[in-house]
Amino acid sequence: MNKSLAKILMYLTGTYALFGYAFLLIWFIGIMLNLVLGEMSFLPPLLQNTISLIETLMISGFTGLIVALIFVGQFFFAYHAHNVFNRLSKIDTAYTTKEREEYITYLILIILFLIYLL
């Protein structure tokens, strides 16, 4: 396995995780601003939209639960994959069988995740 590919995947998954955390933080700040400032013309109604999204997911039942877990969980998965690829890119010797299996497993998961995003 090529260690430079592990480094590239480390950077991509780390960037995606940071993007997701920033998105969730901005969403939270927007909700807090909506609560403090109320209905302003320059602020979108994030609180009402979030409540309607949660209601829609709750009405959907098990499918809604899966969507909610994927919506937030994808960023945590990207962070975990970043840590794995970081560890695998720092190994100086050839990969052992266990490390090779872990590398291929996470590579397959990343490919499935990219297919899901497209």
Q: Where are the domains of the chain?
A: 3-117
Burial of 16 (0-12, 13-18, 19+ CB in 10 A): buried
Q: Which two tokens stand for residue 9?
A: 């995947």
Say whether pTM exceeds 0.95: no
pLDDT at residue 56 in the model:
92
pLDDT at residue 2 in the model: 64
d(CA 111, CA 108) in angstroms, rounded, equals 5
pLDDT at 25: 92
Alpha-carbon distance of 42 to 6, in angstroms, equals: 43
Mean pLDDT split into 10-residue runs, the chain, 118 residues: 78 92 90 81 80 91 88 88 86 80 86 80
For tokens 């266990």, what's the residue? 98
Looking at the chain, list the stretches that DSSP marks H as alpha helix, in order from N- to C-terminal side. Answer: 3-37, 46-60, 62-89, 97-117
The token duo for 20 is 């997701």
For position 70, what pLDDT does the model report? 85
